[in-house]
Structure 1
Amino acid sequence: MARVTVVGAGVIGLSIAHELAVAGHRVQILAAQDALSSVSGVAAAIWFPHGVAHTAPVLDSAQVTLQRFQELAGRPDTGVRMRQGTVLMRRADTDTSWTRAVPHHERLDATQLPAHLVPGTGATGVACTVPVALTDVYLPWLHAEVLALGVTMRTTEVRDLREVLAQENPDALVVAAGMRSAALLADDDETYPVRGQIVRLANPGLTEWVTDNDNPQGLTYVVPRDHDVVCGGTGEVGSWNEQVDPEVEQAILRRACALVPALAGQPVLSRAVGLRPARSSVRVGAVEGYDRPVFACYGHGGAGFTLSWGDAARIAALIGPA
């Protein structure tokens, strides 16, 4: 393989293009929009395998990505920060298999949690330090890194993979277009959107994140970045609505401020909605039915950043060196 076309320029597509270029391939990206305009730009981008089954390949990819992000966090210009925080757990059967990818974590019982976080619920938690990517810094940085490796990009809406194969004539093609991927691959009828709405508040000086996935009022997370705090969220399965809902935003703010009282009264800086590409399992592998190698890499749910480098490495291994 020498010429590879990647369809999609979100965090998954850019990471794949990066690893293929490092392996010596000539890489071209085709995408209708840049990473910041995609669902990648909406993400809180905290390392956590949310919205995907915790299978062995998923946890392996998550661990590879964690290690890469730890390295990148040593360079402030990348926009990757290592941040301490707490995963709240309200159910005894909460899946904690993800912790095997995190070398240093601590199980917390109800007595070790601040009383205001889980009043009367008896919830437990996991304290750990994981990467947070500042999307407005990390995605442009990754884009620039990819270009520096010689990757070319063209803005276009891909509608037919066979057309791309005929016109671009690559040796291999990778479909990493998030929600668009299933429409491009006729053999997939199980991918569906999960609508996520977030609101970004001014940061009053917070550094620690907290997630409360089983909050009875709805999915709740607070992820501080350098200058703002991403507050979420929603997990509306099957919704294609990409418009901000003011009532949903108010509910998010009530939950976030109950979780982190210091957020009360902070001004809203921005708001956004993104459609997470979900399916029963992340799809990483070869696709049959084409006259040359075609590979899929999508269906990451809310774990695109978390699996990005690991799944990019899996695709690069499948294609092999140049």
Structure 2
Amino acid sequence: MSDDVIDDVVVVGGGVIGLTTALTLAERGLRVRVWSRDPAAGTTSAVAGALWWPYRIEPAEQVGGWSLESLRVYEKLAADPVGTGVRIVAGVHADTTLAELGDWAREVSGLRQLTAAQVPGPHGTGLAARLPLIDMPVHLAWLRGRVEAAGGVVEQRTVTGFAEAARSARVVVDCAGFGARDLVPDAGLRPVRGQLVLVENPGIEEWFTAADGASSETTYFFPQPGRLILGGTAQEGDERLEPDPATAAAIVARCARIRPEIAGARVLGHRVGLRPARAGGVRLDAEPLPSGGRLVHNYGHGGAGVTVAWGCARRAADLACG
């Protein structure tokens, strides 16, 4: 181990996974430093919708537990929506039944099966729910503030290899998201492109989703303070970061079939992010570093990083401290 080690942990990655993990570690009394290539507003996490729901994430046998741990945290944070960015909001998951969900669904209060007549648009069934809906720019700023209040440091810094971080800390935690494809390297990581349209909210108070896991097109809208977020896409292997005008028009049209007033809403902007999907699902494990330290991996959360952030952070912290 190098003599110039100054921290207990360096967390590589400053999105929701990285900051939540850093906060969990700092609150356990460790000296934590976050190295993030991008400012929080420039991360994939900042683009997210972000509704709590296990979506496009594996392994199924562990996702439920991670998700429920995170749900309990968000339910508490919703007591201060202005500060934390977390609100509990009602909405509908179309084309979803209770029977097709995992055991975790029994622990989500208020999930209720709907008939076709109760689901807007051309959908045969759906679920009513009240779930955490997170304003990500606000939440990421809150996470950073909590990390710093706990004595952690957040730096904008590009990392070219984990050995660089290992010279500064005994433990390195890899929360690099899609960036782990090159850092690890991990050829099993693949981008799943998501494109969103932000519009003025014409008075919609409930969220709506209709997401076919086998399709590259989804339909959803999330009312966030000052805007309505429309989605979306799930384009595997597509690394384009520029918004596509035709895709944006199609997103608006799909959402307007559910709520016609969306068609005339003024467009405020467009967002594109690459979800870090991974063959085999989330990687959450530890390995020794040549320096004598430990490298903990916490990446590959696909489209549900927000949903599992706290559960995965606690497992990563256990590995870092073990």
TM exceeding 0.5: yes
Q: What is residue 195 of structure 1 aligned with on the other side? A: 193
Q: What is residue 317 of structure 1 aligned with on the other side? A: 318
Q: What is residue 17 of structure 1 aligned with on the other side? A: 22
Q: What is residue 307 of structure 2 aligned with on the other side? A: 306
Are 1:43 and 2:41 counterparts? Answer: no
**Letter aligned with residue 52 of structure 2:** W
**Letter aligned with residue 198 of structure 1:** L
Q: Is the 8 A contact 1:219 1:233 kept in 2?
A: yes
Q: CA deviation at 1:289?
A: 5.4
CA distance in 2 between partners of 1:194 and 1:69 (Å): 25
CA distance in 1 between partners of 2:113 and 2:251 (Å): 27
Are 1:104 and 2:103 counterparts? Answer: no
Q: What is residue 140 of structure 2 aligned with on the other side? A: 139
Q: What is residue 240 of structure 1 aligned with on the other side? A: 239
CA distance in 2 between partners of 1:130 and 1:300 (Å): 19
Q: Is the 8 A contact 2:98 2:127 kept in 1?
A: no
Identity within the alignment, %? 36
Q: CA deviation at 1:142?
A: 1.3
Q: Is the 8 A contact 2:239 2:274 kept in 1?
A: yes
Q: What is residue 81 of structure 1 aligned with on the other side? A: 87
**Letter aligned with residue 261 of structure 1:** P
Q: CA deviation at 1:217?
A: 8.6
Q: CA deviation at 1:48?
A: 1.0
1:68 match: secondary structure? helix
1:45 match: secondary structure? coil
Q: CA deviation at 1:288?
A: 4.8
Q: Is the 8 A contact 1:11 1:308 kept in 2?
A: yes
Runs of 4+ aligned structure 1 residues displaced above 4 Å come to none
**Letter aligned with residue 251 of structure 2:** I
- Aligned pairs for 1:28-39 within 5 A: 28-39=33-44
C-alpha offsets along residues 182-236 of structure 1, whole Å, 9 cap, x if unaligned?
21113x2201000000001111221110101139792111111122111011111
Q: Is the 8 A contact 1:11 1:305 kept in 2?
A: yes
Structure 2 vs 1, CA of residues 128 and 93 (structure 1 numbering), >3 Å: closer, same or farther? Answer: closer
1:179 match: secondary structure? helix
C-alpha offsets along residues 252-286 of structure 1, whole Å, 9 cap, x if unaligned?
01001112223121101111100000012111111
2:276 match: secondary structure? strand
Relative to the length of structure 2, the TM-score reads 0.92
**Letter aligned with residue 69 of structure 1:** Y
CA distance in 1 between partners of 2:155 and 2:212 (Å): 41
Q: How many residues align?
A: 312
2:242 match: secondary structure? coil
CA distance in 2 between partners of 1:193 and 1:54 (Å): 17
Q: What is residue 282 of structure 1 aligned with on the other side? A: 282
Which is further off, 41-50 or 95-104?
A: 95-104
Which is further off, 280-289 or 43-52?
A: 280-289
1:311 match: secondary structure? helix
Structure 2 vs 1, CA of residues 151 and 93 (structure 1 numbering), >3 Å: closer, same or farther? Answer: closer
**Letter aligned with residue 188 of structure 2:** E
**Letter aligned with residue 300 of structure 1:** H
Are 1:268 and 2:267 counterparts? Answer: yes
CA distance in 2 between partners of 1:308 and 1:262 (Å): 34
2:142 match: secondary structure? helix
**Letter aligned with residue 208 of structure 1:** E
Are 1:294 and 2:292 counterparts? Answer: no
Q: Is the 8 A contact 1:59 1:101 kept in 2?
A: no
1:233 match: secondary structure? strand
- Aligned pairs for 1:173-188 within 5 A: 173-186=172-185, 188=186
CA distance in 2 between partners of 1:34 and 1:205 (Å): 32
Relative to the length of structure 1, the TM-score reads 0.92
CA distance in 1 between partners of 2:172 and 2:78 (Å): 31
CA distance in 2 between partners of 1:245 and 1:18 (Å): 36
**Letter aligned with residue 161 of structure 1:** F
CA distance in 2 between partners of 1:192 and 1:218 (Å): 17
Q: Is the 8 A contact 1:62 1:101 kept in 2?
A: no
**Letter aligned with residue 17 of structure 2:** I
Q: CA deviation at 1:6?
A: 0.2
Q: CA deviation at 1:172?
A: 0.6
Q: CA deviation at 1:164?
A: 2.2
Structure 2 vs 1, CA of residues 271 and 311 (structure 1 numbering), >3 Å: closer, same or farther? Answer: same
